């Protein structure tokens, strides 16, 4: 089992799972996940890397912050976490809500991020996702962002059914291991936990502006891999293509949104060779 530590960064305390040794790999989860999203791949990664898997602010066992759910602040959380752990350079892997902060971190701090892997997310309003968004964004984006805590009011007391829906949909009906499912349900139960999670969605307009401003000021120069499955597919790769110098893209077939739990072997088949392209400097 990974070592769990609480590490103060950027005005909050992050719950962080740590495993292995070697060059650092930072893993950033999405919704409705915690660091346990990575349990199916951490053993393989930790055999050759120092794996760092935090709960994002407000998620899981990290601090229930009242603000700071925009991508820029989450990126700064990640940068300060690496500094607190004495890491001077890391590969960064993000999925879903973890993708925009991973992208901004690599764009703003290319000296800190050696390689970038992003999965199953969109980067604000950058061109390239028009086909995916032809019928509008997924329905829950508007529901989670609704004013006056509507989503929390509706869902409090019904968290199990709601989280289960996302876990089944995100694995094309297969579901996730029971222990991981129980951890996710626990992490998102209660009004405060729901409110923190939905704060990420309420901050999406601010995050979109941050992303648009960032790509007008710089290009993404670090080697980058974009991975898609269902439903995002190649949309993220298309968004990245015009702003990235070194981009590889793959769509994993017969795979749901929750790639690390649904198709961990397929993910590792792509991830390990890409990470091995790093130099061997220990962080």
Give the max Cα distance, the chain.
50
CA geometry: angle at 176 spanning 4 and 152, to 5°?
75
Alpha helices in the chain (DSSP H): 39-46, 71-84, 99-108, 139-145, 150-155, 159-169, 178-187, 191-202, 204-217, 235-240, 259-262, 264-276
Distances (CA, A) of 257 to 30, 119, 120, 140, 173: 10, 9, 6, 15, 11
* CB contact at 8 A, 28 and 104: no
- How would you class 241 by CB atoms within 10 Å of its CB: exposed for 0-12, middle for 13-18, buried for 19 or more? middle
Share of the chain above pLDDT 90, in %: 97
DSSP 122: -
Structural domain boundaries in the chain: 3-134+207-276
* CB contact at 8 A, 51 and 28: no
Q: Is 80 exceeded by the pLDDT of residue 16?
A: yes
The mean of the pLDDT values for the chain is 96
Q: Give CATH superfamily name and number for 3-134+207-276.
A: Alpha/Beta hydrolase fold, catalytic domain (3.40.50.1820)
Q: What pLDDT is stored for residue 279 in this prediction?
A: 42
- pLDDT confidence bin for 1, thresholds 50/70/90: confident
3 φ/ψ angles, rounded to the nearest 5 degrees? -80, 135
Q: What pLDDT is stored for residue 188 in this prediction?
A: 98
- How would you class 69 by CB atoms within 10 Å of its CB: exposed for 0-12, middle for 13-18, buried for 19 or more? buried
Q: What pLDDT is stored for residue 278 in this prediction?
A: 47
Q: What pLDDT is stored for residue 42 in this prediction?
A: 97
- pLDDT confidence bin for 267, thresholds 50/70/90: very high
* CB contact at 8 A, 133 and 120: no
What tokens were used for 121? 């997310």
Q: Is 60 exceeded by the pLDDT of residue 120?
A: yes
Share of the chain above pLDDT 70, in %: 98
**Averaged pLDDT for residues 132-153:** 96
Residue carrying the six token digits 């990664």: 45
**Averaged pLDDT for residues 140-167:** 97
224 φ/ψ angles, rounded to the nearest 5 degrees? -130, 140
Q: Is the pTM of this model over 0.95?
A: yes
* CB contact at 8 A, 13 and 7: yes
- pLDDT confidence bin for 36, thresholds 50/70/90: very high
- pLDDT confidence bin for 281, thresholds 50/70/90: very low
- pLDDT confidence bin for 104, thresholds 50/70/90: very high
């Amino acid at each position: 089992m990974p070592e769990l530590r609480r590490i103060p960064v950027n005005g909050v305390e992050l719950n962080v799972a740590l495993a292995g040794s070697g060059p650092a790999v930072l893993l950033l989860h999405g919704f409705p996940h915690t660091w346990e999203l990575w349990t199916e791949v951490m053993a393989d990664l930790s055999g050759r890397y120092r794996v760092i898997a935090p709960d994002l602010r407000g998620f899981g066992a990290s601090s229930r912050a009242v603000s700071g759910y925009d991508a820029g602040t989450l990126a700064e959380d990640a940068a300060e976490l690496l500094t607190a752990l004495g890491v001077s350079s890391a590969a960064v892997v993000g999925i879903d809500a973890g993708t925009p902060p991973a992208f901004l971190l690599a764009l703003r701090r290319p000296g800190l991020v050696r390689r970038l892997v992003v999965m199953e997310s969109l980067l604000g309003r950058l061109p390239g996702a028009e086909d995916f968004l032809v019928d509008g964004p997924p329905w829950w984006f508007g529901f989670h962002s609704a004013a006056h805590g509507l989503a929390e009011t509706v869902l409090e007391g019904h968290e199990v059914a709601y989280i289960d829906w996302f876990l089944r949909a995100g694995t094309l009906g297969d579901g996730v291991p029971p222990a991981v499912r129980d951890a996710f349900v626990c992490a998102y139960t209660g009004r405060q936990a729901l409110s923190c999670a939905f704060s990420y969605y309420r901050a999406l307009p601010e995050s979109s502006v941050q992303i648009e401003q960032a790509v007008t000021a710089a290009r993404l120069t670090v080697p980058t891999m974009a991975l898609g499955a269902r439903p995002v597919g190649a949309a993220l790769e298309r968004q990245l293509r015009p702003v990235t110098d070194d981009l590889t893209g793959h769509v994993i077939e017969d795979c749901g949104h929750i790639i690390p739990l649904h198709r961990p072997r397929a993910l590792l088949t792509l991830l390990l060779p890409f990470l091995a392209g790093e130099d061997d400097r220990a962080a």
